[in-house]
Amino acid sequence: MSLSRWRERGLAALIGALSVFTYAPFQIGGVSLGWLAPLPLAWLFARGLVTQPVTRWQLTTVSWWYGVGAFVAGVHWISVSLSVFGGMPAWMADTGTVLFAMYLALFPMLAGFAASCLRSKQRWLDVVVFAMIWVLSECLRGWLFTGFPWLAVGFSQTDTVLVGFIPVGGVLLASFAVALVAGLFALAWLKKSLKPVVYIALIYVAGAGLSIIQWTSPMKAPPLTVSLLQGNIPQDLKWNPEFARQSLDTYLLQLQASKGQLKVLPETALPLFYQRAKTDIPDFLAQVKAIASVPRQGVLMGTPEMGRTWDEYYNSAVLIQGKDVDQWYRKAHLVPLGEYLPLKPLTSWLLKVLNIPLGDMSSGSAYQSPIQFGSYRLAVNICYEDVFGTELIQSAKQANVMINMSNLAWFGKTIALDQHLQIARVRAIENGRPMIRATNTGATAIIDANGKLLSALPYFESSILEGQIQGMEGETPYQRLGGDRWIYLLILVLIGRYWWLRRA
Protein backbone atom coordinates (compact mmCIF):
# COMPACT_ATOMS: atom_id res chain seq x y z
CA MET A 1 0.00 0.00 0.00
CA SER A 2 1.32 3.42 -0.92
CA LEU A 3 2.46 5.92 1.67
CA SER A 4 -0.10 8.41 0.37
CA ARG A 5 -2.93 6.04 1.29
CA TRP A 6 -1.69 5.73 4.87
CA ARG A 7 -1.35 9.50 5.06
CA GLU A 8 -4.95 9.88 3.93
CA ARG A 9 -6.14 7.41 6.57
CA GLY A 10 -4.10 9.15 9.24
CA LEU A 11 -5.59 12.47 8.17
CA ALA A 12 -9.07 10.96 8.32
CA ALA A 13 -8.45 9.74 11.90
CA LEU A 14 -7.12 13.17 12.88
CA ILE A 15 -10.10 15.01 11.42
CA GLY A 16 -12.45 12.54 13.10
CA ALA A 17 -10.70 13.20 16.43
CA LEU A 18 -11.00 16.96 15.92
CA SER A 19 -14.77 16.58 15.49
CA VAL A 20 -15.01 15.89 19.25
CA PHE A 21 -14.20 19.55 19.91
CA THR A 22 -17.61 20.49 18.46
CA TYR A 23 -19.35 18.91 21.48
CA ALA A 24 -19.46 20.11 25.07
CA PRO A 25 -17.50 21.35 26.92
CA PHE A 26 -15.40 23.03 24.26
CA GLN A 27 -15.85 26.74 23.59
CA ILE A 28 -13.90 29.75 22.38
CA GLY A 29 -14.69 33.01 24.10
CA GLY A 30 -17.88 31.52 25.52
CA VAL A 31 -19.10 30.53 22.04
CA SER A 32 -19.90 26.87 21.41
CA LEU A 33 -17.83 25.11 18.76
CA GLY A 34 -20.96 23.27 17.65
CA TRP A 35 -21.12 25.78 14.79
CA LEU A 36 -18.08 24.02 13.31
CA ALA A 37 -19.66 20.55 13.39
CA PRO A 38 -20.30 20.43 9.60
CA LEU A 39 -16.63 21.00 8.71
CA PRO A 40 -15.13 17.59 9.65
CA LEU A 41 -18.02 15.85 7.89
CA ALA A 42 -17.58 18.14 4.89
CA TRP A 43 -14.06 16.80 4.43
CA LEU A 44 -15.31 13.22 4.61
CA PHE A 45 -18.22 13.89 2.25
CA ALA A 46 -15.91 15.61 -0.22
CA ARG A 47 -14.06 12.31 -0.62
CA GLY A 48 -17.32 10.66 -1.68
CA LEU A 49 -18.39 13.41 -4.04
CA VAL A 50 -15.28 12.97 -6.15
CA THR A 51 -16.12 10.28 -8.71
CA GLN A 52 -12.47 9.59 -9.55
CA PRO A 53 -9.99 8.46 -8.36
CA VAL A 54 -11.73 7.55 -5.05
CA THR A 55 -12.87 3.93 -5.25
CA ARG A 56 -15.51 2.22 -3.17
CA TRP A 57 -12.86 0.55 -1.04
CA GLN A 58 -11.02 3.83 -0.46
CA LEU A 59 -14.15 5.68 0.63
CA THR A 60 -15.14 2.81 2.92
CA THR A 61 -11.74 2.60 4.64
CA VAL A 62 -11.36 6.38 4.97
CA SER A 63 -14.80 6.50 6.63
CA TRP A 64 -13.72 3.81 9.08
CA TRP A 65 -10.55 5.64 10.02
CA TYR A 66 -12.56 8.84 10.48
CA GLY A 67 -14.80 6.95 12.90
CA VAL A 68 -11.85 5.45 14.79
CA GLY A 69 -10.42 8.91 15.39
CA ALA A 70 -13.79 10.34 16.44
CA PHE A 71 -14.64 7.59 18.90
CA VAL A 72 -11.18 7.13 20.42
CA ALA A 73 -11.15 10.85 21.18
CA GLY A 74 -14.83 11.01 22.12
CA VAL A 75 -15.19 8.04 24.48
CA HIS A 76 -11.65 7.63 25.77
CA TRP A 77 -13.09 8.03 29.28
CA ILE A 78 -14.33 4.44 29.18
CA SER A 79 -10.78 3.35 29.99
CA VAL A 80 -11.01 5.22 33.32
CA SER A 81 -13.94 3.08 34.45
CA LEU A 82 -12.20 -0.09 33.33
CA SER A 83 -8.78 0.60 34.86
CA VAL A 84 -9.18 2.98 37.81
CA PHE A 85 -12.45 1.52 39.13
CA GLY A 86 -12.83 -1.75 37.25
CA GLY A 87 -9.49 -3.17 38.30
CA MET A 88 -8.18 -3.85 34.78
CA PRO A 89 -4.50 -3.28 33.99
CA ALA A 90 -4.11 0.05 32.17
CA TRP A 91 -2.95 -1.61 28.95
CA MET A 92 -5.96 -3.90 28.90
CA ALA A 93 -8.38 -1.03 29.61
CA ASP A 94 -6.86 1.11 26.85
CA THR A 95 -6.95 -1.80 24.43
CA GLY A 96 -10.58 -2.49 25.26
CA THR A 97 -11.47 1.17 24.72
CA VAL A 98 -9.73 1.26 21.34
CA LEU A 99 -11.43 -1.97 20.29
CA PHE A 100 -14.79 -0.48 21.27
CA ALA A 101 -13.99 2.63 19.21
CA MET A 102 -13.06 0.39 16.27
CA TYR A 103 -16.43 -1.32 16.58
CA LEU A 104 -18.29 2.01 16.67
CA ALA A 105 -16.30 3.11 13.62
CA LEU A 106 -17.99 0.33 11.65
CA PHE A 107 -21.08 2.54 11.39
CA PRO A 108 -19.33 5.45 9.61
CA MET A 109 -17.62 2.78 7.52
CA LEU A 110 -21.00 1.32 6.59
CA ALA A 111 -22.16 4.82 5.69
CA GLY A 112 -19.14 5.27 3.44
CA PHE A 113 -19.77 1.95 1.75
CA ALA A 114 -23.48 2.67 1.20
CA ALA A 115 -22.69 6.16 -0.11
CA SER A 116 -20.24 4.71 -2.60
CA CYS A 117 -22.89 2.27 -3.83
CA LEU A 118 -25.45 5.05 -4.37
CA ARG A 119 -23.02 7.58 -5.78
CA SER A 120 -23.79 9.04 -9.18
CA LYS A 121 -22.68 11.92 -11.39
CA GLN A 122 -25.48 14.07 -9.98
CA ARG A 123 -23.58 15.70 -7.16
CA TRP A 124 -26.50 17.74 -5.85
CA LEU A 125 -28.52 14.59 -5.37
CA ASP A 126 -25.52 12.80 -3.88
CA VAL A 127 -25.29 15.47 -1.18
CA VAL A 128 -28.83 14.67 0.01
CA VAL A 129 -28.27 10.92 -0.26
CA PHE A 130 -25.02 11.09 1.72
CA ALA A 131 -26.75 13.07 4.46
CA MET A 132 -29.55 10.49 4.63
CA ILE A 133 -27.07 7.63 4.83
CA TRP A 134 -25.10 9.31 7.60
CA VAL A 135 -28.25 9.75 9.70
CA LEU A 136 -29.26 6.15 9.11
CA SER A 137 -25.83 5.01 10.30
CA GLU A 138 -26.30 7.01 13.51
CA CYS A 139 -29.77 5.55 13.93
CA LEU A 140 -28.43 2.01 13.50
CA ARG A 141 -25.61 2.67 15.98
CA GLY A 142 -28.20 3.82 18.51
CA TRP A 143 -30.20 0.61 18.15
CA LEU A 144 -27.99 -2.39 17.31
CA PHE A 145 -26.95 -4.54 20.31
CA THR A 146 -28.98 -2.25 22.64
CA GLY A 147 -27.36 0.79 21.02
CA PHE A 148 -24.77 3.45 21.73
CA PRO A 149 -25.99 6.78 20.26
CA TRP A 150 -23.37 8.82 22.12
CA LEU A 151 -21.75 11.48 19.87
CA ALA A 152 -24.55 11.61 17.33
CA VAL A 153 -23.72 14.80 15.40
CA GLY A 154 -27.01 16.44 16.38
CA PHE A 155 -26.00 16.51 20.05
CA SER A 156 -23.43 19.17 19.20
CA GLN A 157 -26.13 21.65 18.17
CA THR A 158 -27.57 22.64 21.56
CA ASP A 159 -26.13 26.15 21.22
CA THR A 160 -26.63 26.79 17.50
CA VAL A 161 -29.77 27.72 15.58
CA LEU A 162 -29.99 24.18 14.22
CA VAL A 163 -31.33 23.29 17.67
CA GLY A 164 -34.71 24.31 16.24
CA PHE A 165 -34.92 21.00 14.39
CA ILE A 166 -34.64 18.93 17.59
CA PRO A 167 -38.22 19.33 18.94
CA VAL A 168 -39.51 18.58 15.42
CA GLY A 169 -37.61 15.42 14.58
CA GLY A 170 -35.29 14.76 17.50
CA VAL A 171 -31.53 14.75 17.63
CA LEU A 172 -31.34 12.75 14.38
CA LEU A 173 -33.10 15.52 12.45
CA ALA A 174 -30.45 17.91 13.76
CA SER A 175 -27.85 15.37 12.60
CA PHE A 176 -29.47 15.37 9.16
CA ALA A 177 -29.33 19.18 9.04
CA VAL A 178 -25.63 19.17 9.99
CA ALA A 179 -24.87 16.44 7.45
CA LEU A 180 -26.75 18.32 4.73
CA VAL A 181 -24.82 21.50 5.50
CA ALA A 182 -21.59 19.47 5.43
CA GLY A 183 -22.44 18.06 2.01
CA LEU A 184 -23.24 21.52 0.67
CA PHE A 185 -19.97 22.87 2.03
CA ALA A 186 -18.12 20.05 0.26
CA LEU A 187 -20.01 20.76 -2.94
CA ALA A 188 -19.27 24.49 -2.76
CA TRP A 189 -15.58 23.72 -2.38
CA LEU A 190 -15.45 21.13 -5.17
CA LYS A 191 -17.48 23.15 -7.67
CA LYS A 192 -15.96 26.50 -6.61
CA SER A 193 -19.51 27.83 -6.49
CA LEU A 194 -21.46 29.99 -4.03
CA LYS A 195 -24.81 28.48 -4.97
CA PRO A 196 -24.63 25.75 -2.29
CA VAL A 197 -23.96 28.48 0.29
CA VAL A 198 -27.43 29.90 -0.43
CA TYR A 199 -28.99 26.57 0.52
CA ILE A 200 -26.82 26.42 3.64
CA ALA A 201 -28.17 29.82 4.64
CA LEU A 202 -31.74 28.60 4.09
CA ILE A 203 -31.15 25.63 6.41
CA TYR A 204 -29.88 27.91 9.15
CA VAL A 205 -32.76 30.33 8.64
CA ALA A 206 -35.21 27.42 8.93
CA GLY A 207 -33.50 26.27 12.14
CA ALA A 208 -33.63 29.79 13.56
CA GLY A 209 -37.33 30.09 12.74
CA LEU A 210 -38.15 26.77 14.38
CA SER A 211 -36.07 27.59 17.46
CA ILE A 212 -38.31 30.50 18.44
CA ILE A 213 -41.47 28.37 18.52
CA GLN A 214 -42.63 27.36 21.98
CA TRP A 215 -44.11 23.91 21.39
CA THR A 216 -45.28 23.28 24.95
CA SER A 217 -46.87 25.58 27.55
CA PRO A 218 -46.51 26.07 31.33
CA MET A 219 -48.89 24.09 33.50
CA LYS A 220 -51.23 26.02 35.78
CA ALA A 221 -49.56 24.86 39.00
CA PRO A 222 -46.93 27.17 40.57
CA PRO A 223 -43.24 26.40 40.03
CA LEU A 224 -41.83 23.44 41.92
CA THR A 225 -38.93 24.15 44.28
CA VAL A 226 -36.25 21.47 44.18
CA SER A 227 -33.10 20.55 46.08
CA LEU A 228 -30.65 18.45 44.09
CA LEU A 229 -28.09 16.67 46.25
CA GLN A 230 -24.54 16.00 45.05
CA GLY A 231 -22.74 13.84 47.60
CA ASN A 232 -19.39 13.49 45.80
CA ILE A 233 -18.94 9.99 47.19
CA PRO A 234 -15.66 8.48 45.88
CA GLN A 235 -16.40 5.59 43.56
CA ASP A 236 -13.76 3.36 45.13
CA LEU A 237 -15.48 3.78 48.51
CA LYS A 238 -19.11 3.94 47.42
CA TRP A 239 -19.80 0.21 47.87
CA ASN A 240 -17.41 -0.30 50.79
CA PRO A 241 -19.54 -1.43 53.78
CA GLU A 242 -17.15 0.33 56.18
CA PHE A 243 -17.76 3.65 54.39
CA ALA A 244 -21.52 3.26 54.02
CA ARG A 245 -22.40 5.09 57.23
CA GLN A 246 -20.25 8.09 56.28
CA SER A 247 -21.89 8.18 52.84
CA LEU A 248 -25.37 8.07 54.35
CA ASP A 249 -24.51 10.78 56.88
CA THR A 250 -23.38 13.02 54.02
CA TYR A 251 -26.78 12.75 52.36
CA LEU A 252 -28.66 13.00 55.62
CA LEU A 253 -26.97 16.30 56.46
CA GLN A 254 -27.76 17.58 52.98
CA LEU A 255 -31.39 16.52 53.30
CA GLN A 256 -31.70 18.34 56.60
CA ALA A 257 -30.16 21.49 55.09
CA SER A 258 -32.15 21.47 51.84
CA LYS A 259 -35.15 23.75 51.36
CA GLY A 260 -36.91 22.47 48.25
CA GLN A 261 -40.26 20.73 48.17
CA LEU A 262 -38.76 17.88 46.16
CA LYS A 263 -35.38 16.65 47.35
CA VAL A 264 -33.58 14.44 44.84
CA LEU A 265 -30.63 12.17 45.61
CA PRO A 266 -28.42 10.60 42.91
CA GLU A 267 -28.46 7.10 41.45
CA THR A 268 -27.81 4.42 44.12
CA ALA A 269 -27.31 7.09 46.79
CA LEU A 270 -28.40 4.35 49.19
CA PRO A 271 -25.56 1.81 48.77
CA LEU A 272 -27.57 -1.24 49.84
CA PHE A 273 -30.93 -2.77 49.04
CA TYR A 274 -33.81 -0.60 50.20
CA GLN A 275 -35.53 -3.58 51.76
CA ARG A 276 -32.46 -4.46 53.82
CA ALA A 277 -32.00 -0.84 54.88
CA LYS A 278 -35.23 -1.14 56.83
CA THR A 279 -33.52 -3.60 59.16
CA ASP A 280 -29.81 -2.74 58.75
CA ILE A 281 -30.07 1.07 59.04
CA PRO A 282 -33.59 1.78 60.35
CA ASP A 283 -32.46 5.07 61.93
CA PHE A 284 -31.41 6.49 58.54
CA LEU A 285 -34.70 5.62 56.86
CA ALA A 286 -36.65 6.91 59.85
CA GLN A 287 -34.95 10.29 59.53
CA VAL A 288 -35.53 10.38 55.77
CA LYS A 289 -39.21 9.57 56.26
CA ALA A 290 -39.47 12.28 58.92
CA ILE A 291 -38.09 14.84 56.45
CA ALA A 292 -40.48 13.57 53.77
CA SER A 293 -43.45 13.74 56.18
CA VAL A 294 -43.49 17.54 56.18
CA PRO A 295 -46.55 18.69 54.15
CA ARG A 296 -45.86 19.11 50.42
CA GLN A 297 -42.35 17.61 50.81
CA GLY A 298 -40.88 14.49 49.27
CA VAL A 299 -37.57 12.66 48.90
CA LEU A 300 -36.68 10.93 45.61
CA MET A 301 -33.77 8.59 46.23
CA GLY A 302 -31.74 6.23 44.07
CA THR A 303 -31.41 2.75 45.56
CA PRO A 304 -30.95 -0.89 44.60
CA GLU A 305 -34.24 -2.76 44.95
CA MET A 306 -34.75 -6.45 45.61
CA GLY A 307 -37.17 -8.38 43.43
CA ARG A 308 -39.27 -11.44 44.16
CA THR A 309 -36.42 -13.96 43.88
CA TRP A 310 -32.84 -13.98 45.18
CA ASP A 311 -31.35 -13.26 41.73
CA GLU A 312 -33.80 -10.50 40.77
CA TYR A 313 -32.80 -6.95 41.65
CA TYR A 314 -33.15 -3.52 40.09
CA ASN A 315 -31.48 -0.14 39.81
CA SER A 316 -34.39 1.92 41.10
CA ALA A 317 -35.63 5.26 42.38
CA VAL A 318 -38.18 5.58 45.17
CA LEU A 319 -40.30 8.59 46.12
CA ILE A 320 -40.86 8.76 49.87
CA GLN A 321 -43.66 11.13 50.81
CA GLY A 322 -45.27 11.23 54.24
CA LYS A 323 -47.60 8.34 54.93
CA ASP A 324 -48.23 7.75 51.23
CA VAL A 325 -47.23 4.46 49.65
CA ASP A 326 -43.72 4.58 48.21
CA GLN A 327 -43.69 5.14 44.44
CA TRP A 328 -41.05 3.38 42.36
CA TYR A 329 -39.25 3.65 39.06
CA ARG A 330 -37.07 0.76 37.86
CA LYS A 331 -34.33 1.37 35.32
CA ALA A 332 -35.33 -0.26 32.03
CA HIS A 333 -32.36 0.24 29.68
CA LEU A 334 -29.34 -1.30 31.38
CA VAL A 335 -25.67 -0.86 30.44
CA PRO A 336 -24.20 -3.99 28.82
CA LEU A 337 -21.31 -5.44 30.84
CA GLY A 338 -21.94 -2.80 33.50
CA GLU A 339 -25.43 -3.57 34.76
CA TYR A 340 -26.27 -6.79 32.98
CA LEU A 341 -24.43 -9.60 31.25
CA PRO A 342 -25.32 -10.41 27.65
CA LEU A 343 -24.69 -13.94 26.40
CA LYS A 344 -24.68 -15.52 29.86
CA PRO A 345 -23.01 -17.72 31.04
CA LEU A 346 -20.19 -17.02 28.57
CA THR A 347 -19.63 -13.53 30.03
CA SER A 348 -20.11 -14.33 33.73
CA TRP A 349 -16.36 -14.23 34.34
CA LEU A 350 -16.35 -10.52 33.49
CA LEU A 351 -18.06 -9.67 36.78
CA LYS A 352 -14.89 -10.70 38.61
CA VAL A 353 -12.54 -9.01 36.15
CA LEU A 354 -14.40 -5.69 36.09
CA ASN A 355 -15.11 -5.63 39.83
CA ILE A 356 -18.56 -4.09 39.26
CA PRO A 357 -21.02 -4.43 42.16
CA LEU A 358 -24.57 -5.51 41.28
CA GLY A 359 -23.44 -6.16 37.73
CA ASP A 360 -26.26 -8.48 36.69
CA MET A 361 -29.46 -6.52 37.25
CA SER A 362 -32.99 -7.04 36.00
CA SER A 363 -34.73 -4.55 33.70
CA GLY A 364 -37.80 -2.59 34.65
CA SER A 365 -40.78 -2.33 32.32
CA ALA A 366 -40.23 -0.45 29.09
CA TYR A 367 -43.13 1.93 29.82
CA GLN A 368 -43.70 3.07 33.39
CA SER A 369 -46.17 5.71 34.50
CA PRO A 370 -44.73 8.97 35.84
CA ILE A 371 -44.37 9.38 39.58
CA GLN A 372 -47.04 11.63 41.10
CA PHE A 373 -45.84 14.40 43.39
CA GLY A 374 -48.64 16.77 44.33
CA SER A 375 -49.96 18.24 41.08
CA TYR A 376 -46.70 17.39 39.29
CA ARG A 377 -46.00 14.23 37.33
CA LEU A 378 -42.33 13.24 37.25
CA ALA A 379 -40.76 11.20 34.43
CA VAL A 380 -37.69 9.58 35.98
CA ASN A 381 -34.78 8.08 34.09
CA ILE A 382 -31.54 6.75 35.53
CA CYS A 383 -28.06 7.51 34.20
CA TYR A 384 -27.50 6.05 30.71
CA GLU A 385 -31.22 5.93 29.88
CA ASP A 386 -31.43 9.55 28.78
CA VAL A 387 -29.14 8.72 25.87
CA PHE A 388 -32.11 6.96 24.20
CA GLY A 389 -34.57 9.66 23.26
CA THR A 390 -37.34 7.53 21.79
CA GLU A 391 -37.55 5.44 24.96
CA LEU A 392 -38.33 8.51 27.08
CA ILE A 393 -41.19 9.88 24.99
CA GLN A 394 -44.10 7.90 26.43
CA SER A 395 -43.40 8.82 30.02
CA ALA A 396 -42.38 12.40 29.19
CA LYS A 397 -45.66 13.05 27.34
CA GLN A 398 -47.60 12.20 30.49
CA ALA A 399 -45.27 14.17 32.79
CA ASN A 400 -44.55 17.81 33.55
CA VAL A 401 -40.90 17.42 34.58
CA MET A 402 -38.12 15.00 33.61
CA ILE A 403 -35.59 13.83 36.20
CA ASN A 404 -32.25 12.15 35.60
CA MET A 405 -30.40 10.49 38.48
CA SER A 406 -26.81 9.53 37.70
CA ASN A 407 -23.48 8.46 39.09
CA LEU A 408 -20.69 9.35 36.65
CA ALA A 409 -17.92 8.97 39.22
CA TRP A 410 -16.98 5.89 37.17
CA PHE A 411 -15.45 8.16 34.52
CA GLY A 412 -13.43 10.51 36.70
CA LYS A 413 -12.65 14.10 35.73
CA THR A 414 -13.26 13.66 32.01
CA ILE A 415 -15.42 15.18 29.29
CA ALA A 416 -17.99 12.41 29.85
CA LEU A 417 -19.75 14.61 32.42
CA ASP A 418 -20.13 17.53 30.02
CA GLN A 419 -21.18 15.27 27.15
CA HIS A 420 -23.88 13.68 29.32
CA LEU A 421 -25.14 17.11 30.38
CA GLN A 422 -25.42 18.12 26.73
CA ILE A 423 -27.40 14.97 25.98
CA ALA A 424 -29.78 15.82 28.84
CA ARG A 425 -30.31 19.27 27.34
CA VAL A 426 -31.28 17.67 24.04
CA ARG A 427 -33.80 15.39 25.79
CA ALA A 428 -35.40 18.46 27.40
CA ILE A 429 -35.68 20.14 23.99
CA GLU A 430 -37.13 17.07 22.29
CA ASN A 431 -39.89 16.75 24.86
CA GLY A 432 -40.49 20.40 25.74
CA ARG A 433 -40.04 19.55 29.42
CA PRO A 434 -37.58 20.83 32.03
CA MET A 435 -34.94 18.33 33.08
CA ILE A 436 -33.40 18.26 36.54
CA ARG A 437 -30.34 16.15 37.26
CA ALA A 438 -29.10 14.87 40.61
CA THR A 439 -25.69 13.24 40.27
CA ASN A 440 -22.99 11.98 42.59
CA THR A 441 -20.11 14.03 41.17
CA GLY A 442 -21.72 16.12 38.38
CA ALA A 443 -23.29 17.44 36.35
CA THR A 444 -26.03 18.25 38.87
CA ALA A 445 -28.13 20.80 37.02
CA ILE A 446 -31.47 22.45 36.29
CA ILE A 447 -32.40 22.68 32.59
CA ASP A 448 -35.49 24.45 31.28
CA ALA A 449 -37.87 23.15 28.60
CA ASN A 450 -35.84 24.91 25.87
CA GLY A 451 -32.65 23.13 26.87
CA LYS A 452 -31.15 26.19 28.54
CA LEU A 453 -28.86 25.44 31.46
CA LEU A 454 -30.32 27.50 34.32
CA SER A 455 -27.92 26.46 37.06
CA ALA A 456 -25.41 23.75 37.90
CA LEU A 457 -23.05 22.73 40.68
CA PRO A 458 -19.27 22.58 40.30
CA TYR A 459 -18.05 19.08 39.58
CA PHE A 460 -16.58 16.88 42.33
CA GLU A 461 -17.88 18.98 45.21
CA SER A 462 -20.33 17.94 47.92
CA SER A 463 -23.13 20.50 47.69
CA ILE A 464 -26.84 21.19 47.19
CA LEU A 465 -28.39 22.87 44.15
CA GLU A 466 -31.48 24.81 45.14
CA GLY A 467 -33.84 26.14 42.49
CA GLN A 468 -37.29 26.05 40.99
CA ILE A 469 -38.75 24.77 37.77
CA GLN A 470 -41.95 25.40 35.89
CA GLY A 471 -43.71 22.23 34.81
CA MET A 472 -44.83 22.03 31.18
CA GLU A 473 -47.64 20.31 29.31
CA GLY A 474 -48.56 19.73 25.69
CA GLU A 475 -46.64 17.85 23.00
CA THR A 476 -43.77 18.63 20.67
CA PRO A 477 -43.91 17.43 17.05
CA TYR A 478 -41.23 14.90 17.98
CA GLN A 479 -43.56 13.39 20.57
CA ARG A 480 -46.54 13.38 18.20
CA LEU A 481 -44.48 11.60 15.54
CA GLY A 482 -43.53 8.96 18.09
CA GLY A 483 -39.83 9.75 17.96
CA ASP A 484 -37.64 8.83 15.02
CA ARG A 485 -40.29 7.19 12.83
CA TRP A 486 -39.57 9.66 10.03
CA ILE A 487 -36.36 7.65 9.55
CA TYR A 488 -38.46 4.99 7.80
CA LEU A 489 -39.18 7.52 5.07
CA LEU A 490 -35.45 7.95 4.48
CA ILE A 491 -35.08 4.18 4.18
CA LEU A 492 -37.81 4.04 1.53
CA VAL A 493 -36.20 6.91 -0.39
CA LEU A 494 -32.81 5.21 -0.36
CA ILE A 495 -34.32 1.89 -1.47
CA GLY A 496 -35.94 3.75 -4.35
CA ARG A 497 -32.62 5.39 -5.16
CA TYR A 498 -30.86 2.01 -5.26
CA TRP A 499 -33.57 0.53 -7.47
CA TRP A 500 -33.30 3.50 -9.85
CA LEU A 501 -29.52 3.20 -10.14
CA ARG A 502 -29.83 -0.54 -10.80
CA ARG A 503 -32.19 0.16 -13.70
CA ALA A 504 -30.08 2.95 -15.16
Strand partners, 300: 264, 319
Q: Are 170 and 430 in contact (CB under 8 A)?
A: yes
What is the identity of the amino acid at 354?
L
The yes-or-no answer on residue 192 being catalytic is no
Catalytic residue (one of 339, 383, 385, 430): 383
User: How buried is 498 (Cβ within 10 angstroms: 0-12 exposed, 13-18 middle, 19+ buried)?
Assistant: middle
SS3 196: helix
The catalytic position among 331, 385, 397, 430 is 331
Q: β-strands 435-439, 445-447: how paired?
A: antiparallel
| Encoded amino acid at 110, one letter | L
Cross-strand partners of 329: 317
Contacts of range 117-123, beta carbons closer than 8 Å, 24 or more positions apart: 117/56, 117/498, 118/494, 118/497, 118/498, 118/501, 119/48, 119/49, 119/51, 120/501, 121/51, 123/49, 123/187, 123/190, 123/191
CA distances from 199 to 41, 154, 185, 370 (A): 17, 19, 10, 42
Count of CA atoms in the C-beta half-sphere (13 A) of 413: 5
Q: Are 457 and 463 in contact (CB under 8 A)?
A: yes
Nearest CA among 452, 468, 306, 315 for reference residue 380? 315
Cα-flanking dihedrals φ and ψ of residue 107, to 5°?
Answer: -75, -45
Is 267 a catalytic site residue? yes
DSSP class per residue in 433-457: --EEEEESSS--EEE-TTS-EEEEP
> Among residues 158, 199, 167, 194, which one has the least CA distance to residue 180?
199
Which of the following is catalytic: 138, 267, 339, 391? 267
- C-alpha to C-alpha distance for 364 and 330, rounded to whole angstroms: 5
Please, which residues bridge with residue 313 across strands? Answer: 306
Angstrom distance (rounded) from CA 114 to CA 152: 18
> At residue 358, what is the residue type?
L
Q: List Cα–Cα distances, 98 to 70, 71, 112, 115, 258, in angstroms.
A: 11, 8, 21, 26, 43
Residues 63 and 45: their CA atoms lie apart, in Å, by: 9
At residue 466, the 3 state secondary structure works out as strand
Helix axes 389-398, 416-431, angle to 10 degrees: 50
Q: Does residue 383 have an active-site annotation?
A: yes
Peptide bond between residue 53 and the one before it cis (omega within 30 degrees of 0): yes
Fill in the DSSP letter of residue 345: T
Residues identified as active-site: 267, 331, 383
